[in-house]
Structure 1
Amino acid sequence: MFDDKNNLNAVEICAGAGGQAIGLHHAGFSHSLAVELDSHAAQTLRDNTNWQVAEGDVADQAVWNPADYKGIDLLAGGVPCPPFSMAGKQLGSSDERDLFAWAVEQVDVVRPRALLLENVRGLASNRFSAYRQRVLDRLSEFGYVADWRILHSADYGVPQLRPRFVLIAMSPEDAVYFNWPEPQRSTTTVGTLLRDLMAENGWPHAEEWADLAAGIGPTLVGGSKKHGGADLGPSRAKLAWSKLAVDGRGVADSAPGPDAPHPSVLPPKLTIPMVARLQGWTDVHAWKFAGRKTAQYRQIGNAFPPPVAEALGRQIKAALLHEGLAHDLPELASDLHDPIYRTLSNANGFVSMEKLQAALVELSQASVEKRLAVLARDFDVEIKTSVNGTSYRLGEFKGFTGQADHDRHLYMSKHKSRIS
Structure 2
Amino acid sequence: MTLDLRVIEICAGAGGQALGLERAGFEHELAVELDHNAAATLSHNRPEWKVAIGDVANPEVWNPADYAPSHGRQSIDLLAGGVPCPPFSIAGKQLGANDERDLFAWAVEQVSVLQPRALLLENVRGLSMPRFAGYRQHVLDRLREFGYSAEWRLLHASDFGVPQLRPRFVLVALKSEDFAYFHWPTPLGNVPTVGETLLPLMSRNKWRGAKAWARQANSIAPTIVGGSKKHGGADLGPTRAKRAWAALGVNGLGIADAPPAREDTFDVGPKLTCEMVARLQGWDDDEFWWEFTGRKTSVYRQIGNAFPPPVAHAIGKQIVDALAHRGHVRAVDPERDSDPIYRVLRDATDFLTARQIVNRSAVKLDDPEIDRRISILGSDFEIVKEQRSTGLAYRLLGFRGFVGQDDHIRHDYLRTKTSKVS
TM-score by length of 2: 0.96
Calculate percent identity across the aligned residue pairs.
58
In the other structure, the counterpart of 1:300 is 303
Q: How does 1:143-182 map to 2 (within 5 A)?
A: 143-182=147-186
The separation in 2 between residues aligned to 1:362 and 1:299, in whole angstroms, is 46
The alignment status of 1:25 with 2:22, answered yes or no, reads yes
Partner of residue 419, structure 1: 421
- Number of equivalences: 413
Aligned pairs for 1:186-265 (under 5 A) are: 186-261=190-265, 265=267
| Contiguous gaps of at least 5 residues in structure 1 | none
AA in 2 matched with 1:33: L
What's 1:337 paired with? 338
Say whether 1:96 aligns with 2:93.
no
Q: Structure 1 residue 325: deviation in Å?
A: 2.2
Render the CA deviation track for 1:82-115: whole Å, top value 9, x for unaligned: 1100011111111111100100111111111111
Structure 2 residue identity aligned to 1:89: K
* Cα distance in structure 1, aligned partners of 2:217 and 2:409: 47
CA distance in 1, matches of 2:337, 2:91: 26
The corresponding residue for 1:354 is: 355
Distance 2:31 2:129 in 1: 29
Structure 2 distance, partners of 1:347, 1:334, is 17
Alpha-carbon distance, 1:230 to partner: 0.5
Please report how far the alpha carbon of residue 283 of structure 1 lies from its aligned counterpart in structure 2 after TM superposition: 1.2
Give the Cα–Cα distance (whole angstroms) in 2 for the partners of residues 386 and 239 of structure 1. 54
C-alpha RMSD of matched pairs (Å): 1.2
Relative to 1, partners in 2 of residues 1:283 and 1:334: Cα closer, same or farther, differing over 3 Å?
farther
The answer to whether the aligner puts 1:282 opposite 2:280 as a matched pair is no
User: Hey, what's the Cα distance between the residues in 2 that align with 1:54 and 1:376?
Assistant: 35
User: Which SS does the other structure have where 1:283 is aligned?
Assistant: coil
Superposed CA deviations along residues 195-251 of structure 1, whole A, max 9, x for unmatched, are 010010121111111101010100000000012421001111100000000001100
What residue number does 1:13 align with?
Answer: 10
| Aligned equivalents of 2:55, 2:2: Cα separation in 1 | 28
Aligned match of 1:270: 272
Deviations 1:329-368 (A, max 9, x none): 44xx340411111111111221222111221422321221
Match for residue 38 of structure 1 among 15, 35, 39: 35
What's the CA shift string for 1:298-334, capped at 9, x where partnerless? 010000000000000000000001112223344xx34
Deviation at 1:266, TM superposition (A): 4.2
- The one-letter code sitting in structure 1 at the alignment partner of 2:284 is T
Change (3 A) 1:266 1:392: closer
In structure 2, stretches of 5+ residues that fail to align are 69-74
**What are the residue-to-residue correspondences of 1:43-122 with 2, within 5 Å?**
43-49=40-46, 50-70=48-68, 71-122=75-126
- The separation in 2 between residues aligned to 1:246 and 1:25, in whole angstroms, is 33
